[in-house]
Amino acid sequence: MDTELRSNFLRTQIQSDLDQGLVDRVVTRFPPEPNGFLHIGHAKSITVNFGLAQQYGGRCNLRFDDTNPEKESQTFIDAIEEDVRWLGYEWQGETRYASSYFGQLFDWAVFLIDTGRAYVCDLSADEARTYRGTLTEPGKNSPYRDRTVAENRTLFEAMRAGEYEDGERVLRAKIDMSSPNINLRDPTLYRIRRVTHHQTGDDWVIYPTYDFAHGQEDAIEGISHSICTLEFEDHKPLYDWFIECLPVPSRPRQYEFARLNVNYTVTSKRKLKLLVDSGAVAGWDDPRMPTIAGMRRRGYSPEALRHFCEEVGTSRSDGVVDVGMLESAVRNDLNVHAPRAMAVLNPLALELTNLAATEILSVANHPADETMGRREVTLSRNIWIDREDFRQEANKKFKRLVVGKRVRLRGGYVIEAERCDVDVHGEVTKVYATVVPQTLGEDPDDGVKAKGVIHWVDQSNAVEAEIRSYDRLFAVSDPSSAEDFDQVINQNSLTTSTAFLEASLAYAVPEARYQFEREGYFIADRYDHSSEQPVFNKVIGLRDTWVTND
- What would the pLDDT profile of 32-78 be if each residue is shown by its tens digit? 999 999 999 999 999 999 999 999 999 999 999 999 999 999 999 99
* CA separation, residue 469 to residues 104, 301, 311, 539, 543 (Å): 51, 18, 27, 8, 15
The two most distant CA atoms of the chain are separated, in Å, by 104
* Within-domain flag for 39: yes
pTM over 0.75: yes
Q: Are 416 and 484 found together in one domain?
A: no
What torsion do the CA atoms of 319, 321, 310, 301 make, to the nearest 10 degrees? 150
- What would the pLDDT profile of 172-198 be if each residue is shown by its tens digit? 999 999 999 999 999 999 999 999 999
Q: Are 231 and 299 found together in one domain?
A: no
Among the three residues 228, 257, 286, which one is the final residue of a domain in this structure? Answer: 257
Average pLDDT, the chain: 95
| Position 6 confidence tier, pLDDT thresholds 50, 70, 90 | low
Number of domains observed in the structure of the chain: 3
Q: Are 443 and 423 found together in one domain?
A: yes
How far, in Å, CA of 438 to CA of 374, rounded? 22
Q: Are 419 and 370 found together in one domain?
A: yes
* Within-domain flag for 498: yes
Question: Distance from first CA to last CA of the chain, Å, rounded?
Answer: 35
Q: Compute the C-alpha angle 524/529/535, nearest 5°.
A: 65
Q: Are 278 and 382 found together in one domain?
A: no
Q: Are 345 and 481 found together in one domain?
A: no
Whether residue 550 is predicted with pLDDT greater than 60 in this model: the reply is no
What percent helix, strand, coil does the chain show, rounded to 5? 30, 25, 45
Q: Residue length, the chain?
A: 550
Q: Are 308 and 407 found together in one domain?
A: no
Q: Are 206 and 231 found together in one domain?
A: yes
* CA separation, residue 35 to residues 70, 227, 237 (Å): 9, 20, 26
How far, in Å, CA of 425 to CA of 432, rounded? 19
State residue 446's pLDDT score.
86
Cβ neighbours for 426, distance < 8 A, ≥ 6 positions apart: none
- What percentage of the chain has pLDDT greater than the value 70? 98
Whether residue 4 is predicted with pLDDT greater than 80 in this model: the reply is no
Please compute the mean of the pLDDT values over residues 136-165 and round it to a whole number.
98
Output the 3-class SS for 163-200: CCCCCCCEEEECCCCCCCCHHHCCCEEEEECCCCECCC
Q: Are 279 and 368 found together in one domain?
A: no
Among the three residues 461, 481, 508, which one is the final residue of a domain in this structure? Answer: 461
Pairing of strands 347-352, 535-540: unpaired
Among the three residues 236, 257, 278, which one is the final residue of a domain in this structure? Answer: 257
* Within-domain flag for 264: no
Whether residue 546 is predicted with pLDDT greater than 90 in this model: the reply is no
Active site residues: 33, 259, 269
| Position 283 confidence tier, pLDDT thresholds 50, 70, 90 | very high
C-alpha 500 chain-centroid distance? 30
Q: Residue 434 in contact with residue 448, Cβ under 8 Å?
A: no
Query: Half-sphere exposure of 48 toward its Cβ, with a 13 Å CA cutoff?
Result: 29
Please compute the mean of the pLDDT values over residues 461-466 and round it to a whole number.
98
State residue 547's pLDDT score.
53
Output the 3-class SS for 73-95: CHHHHHHHHHHHHHCCCCCCCCC
* Within-domain flag for 545: no
How far, in Å, CA of 20 to CA of 480, rounded? 43
Q: Report helix angle 40-55 to 74-86, nearest 10.
A: 60
Please compute the mean of the pLDDT values over residues 451-460 and round it to a whole number.
96
C-alpha R_g of the chain: 31
Q: Compute the C-alpha angle 439/440/444, nearest 5°.
A: 15
User: Can you list the alpha helix ranges (DSSP code H) found in 437-477?
Assistant: none
Whether residue 1 is predicted with pLDDT greater than 50 in this model: the reply is no
Q: Are 321 and 356 found together in one domain?
A: no
Q: Are 307 and 385 found together in one domain?
A: no
Q: Report helix angle 210-220 to 236-245, nearest 10.
A: 60
| CATH assignment at residue 137 | 3.40.50.620
* Within-domain flag for 3: no
* Within-domain flag for 65: yes
Domain that holds residue 189: 9-257
Sign of CA dihedral 523, 529, 531, 536: negative
* Within-domain flag for 262: no
State residue 8's pLDDT score.
87
Please compute the mean of the pLDDT values over residues 117-123 and round it to a whole number.
98
Q: Are 37 and 155 found together in one domain?
A: yes
| CATH assignment at residue 378 | 2.40.240.10
State residue 533's pLDDT score.
96
How far, in Å, CA of 424 to CA of 495, rounded? 28
Q: DSSP assignment of 240-254, as one string?
A: HHHHHHS--S---EE
Q: Compute the C-alpha angle 172/174/179, nearest 5°.
A: 110
Q: Which of 140-144, 309-313, 381-385, 456-460 has the least mean pLDDT?
A: 309-313
Looking at residue 183, its amino acid is N
Whether residue 167 is predicted with pLDDT greater than 60 in this model: the reply is yes
> Which run of H or E residues covers position 111?
helix 102-114
Whether residue 5 is predicted with pLDDT greater than 80 in this model: the reply is no
State residue 428's pLDDT score.
97
* Within-domain flag for 1: no
State residue 549's pLDDT score.
44
Q: Residue 457 in contact with residue 343, Cβ under 8 Å?
A: yes
